[in-house]
């Protein structure tokens, strides 16, 4: 459904009533709100029996950041969709400074990180300027085209040319990631929310992306990436028989803030995956042409509140011969014209009036916020320590300084306190994420010892992996699990002292 109308005509009230009605009926919904007022009001109407269903994503809740890694666990055939979504929203933000060369580099960068286990958007800046990190990523690349770009093209750029080419990316992406609020969300390698689970279990996802609290660019970027993740979750329903797919409702207020060229794909394919989109905005010129074409080519229900003369001229062909352009211009508040399709058949347009605000608040807002924080939020200090550890690892690899690594508990989904892993003469060879845990991988020809915290003396670590006599002869070929068999994995929540074998 697509609803259009000037500010103050009743769009938000209608949207709010629809959302509350769906929540009360036990349906699965996601709400993308760029102002915050809509979600703030909805929280007062969530019934007690659905409190545990609510996932409240509010970046402005800085002390309990929710982990959201758009690059995490993307199926190979869907990686281009993620890349297009990310590139598309940056294209929207870049404006006039956007160009084909910039898009080419950014797209290849995102696709490369999608092939690198544990990568987050923080890697965008590093892969462009840090040769050592770039080499590690390239080693993991499965796509020969992306691999060829970095090896035979990017590495051979003239230094001055490369600096000029990546400067706009560093500017915009760096501006986005320089905010600790945003960095603490997108910098977590493991997402704490599962979009597939939210959709298939009919949960309630509320995205409070208030522009006034986090900024216009951050709001647009987070919203577009969330919508991309919802799209991916919907497309994975292809594995489920059509009659078993549960309806899920995605409400996007002022959706032009998040509308990119790739958004058109969602509009054209959403229906078959039982993803229902309800979008509102104020006037047509706010949308890219490709999105406008997708809306008027795929949307089944049009709702028009009072609009301006330009939009009335454009919209009238959807409502003729029942209504004329002047009718659209002179509508009263809370009055609408509707054109809808029922069972694939378009019905004649008709007029209607919308209901006033729903009554009957439940006063569950504070409890919902508390429960959502407990289920999905992470402790800010631990998240920042984890991100600092990752950055320190990259620096430590060059300086031989101690590095910090972290581990994520599979049971509690909480980040375990990072521990220091001291290094002898050699640096960590790998730093990777597999599933839910971070690992430090140590060459088998080295010996791992446990460091006691009390007397600071090294003793034999009985809990560390035992090395067989033949370990030093193991080959560097990957084993059946895709791991390098010449390395021993040591869980990062184990404090170890690595020394070179004599």
What stretches of 237-363 show up as alpha helix (H) in DSSP? 263-269, 289-298, 309-319, 325-329
Which residue bears the tokens 């400074």? Answer: 97
40 plus 106 within the same structural domain: no
**pLDDT band for position 395 (cuts 50, 70, 90):** low
Do 86 and 61 sit in the same domain of this protein? Answer: no
Predicted local distance difference test score (pLDDT) of residue 463: 44
Residues 437 and 404 in one domain: yes
C-alpha span between 357 and 346 (Å, rounded): 29
Q: Which of 153, 181, 209 is the last residue of a domain?
A: 181
CB 164 within 8 A of CB 363: no
Q: Could you tell me the pLDDT band of residue 393, with boundaries at 50, 70 and 90? A: low
Identify the pLDDT of residue 21.
Answer: 96
Q: 163-167, 267-271, 273-277, 423-427: which range is least confident on average?
A: 423-427
Kindly tell me if the per-residue pLDDT of 416 is higher than 70: no
DSSP 127: H
On whether residue 364 sits in a domain, the answer given is yes
Cβ atoms of 418 and 406 within 8 Å: the answer is yes
Share of the chain above pLDDT 90, in %: 56
Q: Do 150 and 134 form a contact (C-beta atoms < 8 A)?
A: yes
Residue 402 has pLDDT above 60, yes or no: no
Q: Is 148 within 8 Å of 112 (Cβ atoms)?
A: no
b/e code 337-376 from CB counts within 10 Å (16+ = b): bbbbeeeeeeeebeeeebeeebeeebebbeebbebbbeeb
Whole-number pLDDT of residue 397: 54
pTM over 0.75: yes
Domain shared by 416 and 481, yes or no: yes
- CA dist., res. 43 & res. 208, Å (int): 11
Pairwise pLDDT comparison (169 vs 433), residue with the higher score: 169
End residue of a domain, out of 321, 343, 376: 376
DSSP string, 407-427: EE-TTT--EEEEEEEEE-SS-
pLDDT at 277 over 70: yes
Q: Which residue has the higher pLDDT, 433 or 392?
A: 392
pLDDT category of residue 127 using cuts at 50, 70 and 90: very high
Residues 436-471 have pLDDT tens digits of: 333 343 433 333 333 333 334 443 444 444 333 333
Q: 130 and 394 in contact (C-beta within 8 Å)?
A: yes
Report how far residue 181's alpha carbon sits from residue 47's, in angstroms, rounded to the nearest whole number. Answer: 30
Give CA–CA dist 293/261, Å, rounded.
11
Same domain (yes/no): 416, 490: yes
User: What's residue 28's pLDDT?
Assistant: 97
186 domain-assigned: no
203-257 pLDDT, tens digit each: 999 999 999 999 998 999 999 999 999 999 998 888 888 888 999 999 999 988 8
Q: Give the lowest-confidence range in 43-52, 94-103, 461-470.
A: 461-470
Percent of the chain, pLDDT > 70?
78
For residue 42, give the CATH number of its domain.
3.40.50.300
Q: Would 446 be classed as within a structural domain?
A: yes
Please give the pLDDT value at position 206. 98
Burial status of residue 179 (CB atoms within 10 A of its CB: 0-12, 13-18, 19 or more)? middle
For residue 171, is pLDDT > 90? no
* Alpha carbon distances (Å) from 263 to 89, 132, 292, 297, 372: 10, 35, 10, 13, 28
Average pLDDT value for residue range 330-344 = 92
Instruction: For 8-23, write each residue's pLDDT tens digit.
Output: 999 999 999 999 999 9
Nearest to 136 by CA among 108, 117, 162, 158: 117
- The tally of domains found in the chain comes to 3
DSSP 284: G
Asked if residue 57 lies in contact with residue 67, where contact means CB atoms within 8 angstroms, the answer is no
pLDDT of 374 > 80? The answer is: yes
Residue whose tokens read 């949307």: 299
Q: CB-based contacts of 133: which residues, under 8 Å, 6+ apart? A: 123, 126, 127, 394
Predicted pLDDT of residue 144: 94
Residue 279 sits in the same domain as residue 299:
yes
The whole-number average pLDDT for the span 147-165 is 94
User: Between the ranges 109-118, 166-175, 426-435, where is the mean pLDDT highest?
Assistant: 109-118
Say if residue 437 is in the same domain as residue 350: no
**55, pLDDT greater than 90:** yes
Asked if 295 and 396 sit in the same domain, the reply is no
Query: Do residues 288 and 393 both lie within one domain?
Result: no
Mean pLDDT score of the chain, rounded to an integer? 80
Co-location of 55 and 174 in the same domain: no
What pLDDT does 396 receive? 54
207 and 297 part of one domain: yes
- The answer to whether residue 118 sits within a structural domain is yes
The average pLDDT across 358-367 equals 87
Mean pLDDT of 175-188: 91
Give yes or no: residues 175 and 247 share one domain: no
Which one-letter DSSP state was computed for residue 218?
H
Does any domain span residue 327? yes
Tell which of 162, 181, 200 closes a domain: 181
Domain coverage including residue 492 = 380-500
Top pLDDT among 80 and 425 is at 80
């Amino acid at each position: 459904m697509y609803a259009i109308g000037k500010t103050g005509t009743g769009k938000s009230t209608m949207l709010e009533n629809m959302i509350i009605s769906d929540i009360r009926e036990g349906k699965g919904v996601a709400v993308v709100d760029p102002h915050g007022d809509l979600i703030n009001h909805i929280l007062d109407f969530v019934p007690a029996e659905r409190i545990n269903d609510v996932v409240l994503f509010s970046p402005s809740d800085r002390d309990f950041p929710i982990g959201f890694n758009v690059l995490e666990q993307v199926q190979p055939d869907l990686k281009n969709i993620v890349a297009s979504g990310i590139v598309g929203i940056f294209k929207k933000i870049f404006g006039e400074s956007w160009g084909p060369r910039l898009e080419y580099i950014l797209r290849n960068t995102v696709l490369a990180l999608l092939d690198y286990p544990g990568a987050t958007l923080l890697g965008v800046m590093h892969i462009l300027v840090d040769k050592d990190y770039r080499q590690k990523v390239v080693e993991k690349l499965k796509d020969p085209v992306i691999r060829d770009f970095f090896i035979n093209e990017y590495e051979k750029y003239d230094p001055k040319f490369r600096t000029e080419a990546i400067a706009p990316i560093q500017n915009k992406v760096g501006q986005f990631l320089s905010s600790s609020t945003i960095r603490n969300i997108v910098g977590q390698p493991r997402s704490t929310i599962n979009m597939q689970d939210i959709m298939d279990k009919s949960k309630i996802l509320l995205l409070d992306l208030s522009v006034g609290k986090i900024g216009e660019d951050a709001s647009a970027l987070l919203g577009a990436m969330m919508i991309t993740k919802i799209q991916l979750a919907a497309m994975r329903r292809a594995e489920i028989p059509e009659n078993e797919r549960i309806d899920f409702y995605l409400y996007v207020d002022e959706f032009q803030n998040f509308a990119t060229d790739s958004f058109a794909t969602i509009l054209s394919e959403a229906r078959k995956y039982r993803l229902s989109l309800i979008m509102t905005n104020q006037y047509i010129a706010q949308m890219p042409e490709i999105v406008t074409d997708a809306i008027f080519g795929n949307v089944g229900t049009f709702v028009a509140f009072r609009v301006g003369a330009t939009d009335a001229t454009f919209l009238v062909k959807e409502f003729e011969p029942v209504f004329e352009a002047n009718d659209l211009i002179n509508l009263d508040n809370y009055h609408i014209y509707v054109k809808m399709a029922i069972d694939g058949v378009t019905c004649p347009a008709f007029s209607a009036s919308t209901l006033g605000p729903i009554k009957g608040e439940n006063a569950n807002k504070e409890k919902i916020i508390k429960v959502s924080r407990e289920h999905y939020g992470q402790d800010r200090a631990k998240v920042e320590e984890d991100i600092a550890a990752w950055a320190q690892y990259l620096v430590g690899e060059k300086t031989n300084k101690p590095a910090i690594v972290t581990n994520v508990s599979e049971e509690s989904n909480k980040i375990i306190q990072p521990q220091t892993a001291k290094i002898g003469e050699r640096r960590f060879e790998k730093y990777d994420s597999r599933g839910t845990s971070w690992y430090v991988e140590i060459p088998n020809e080295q010996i791992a010892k446990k460091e006691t915290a009390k007397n600071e003396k090294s003793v034999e670590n009985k809990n560390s992996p035992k090395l067989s006599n033949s370990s030093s002869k193991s080959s560097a070929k990957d084993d059946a699990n895709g791991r390098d068999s010449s390395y021993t994995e040591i869980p990062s929540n184990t404090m170890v002292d690595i020394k070179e074998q004599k």
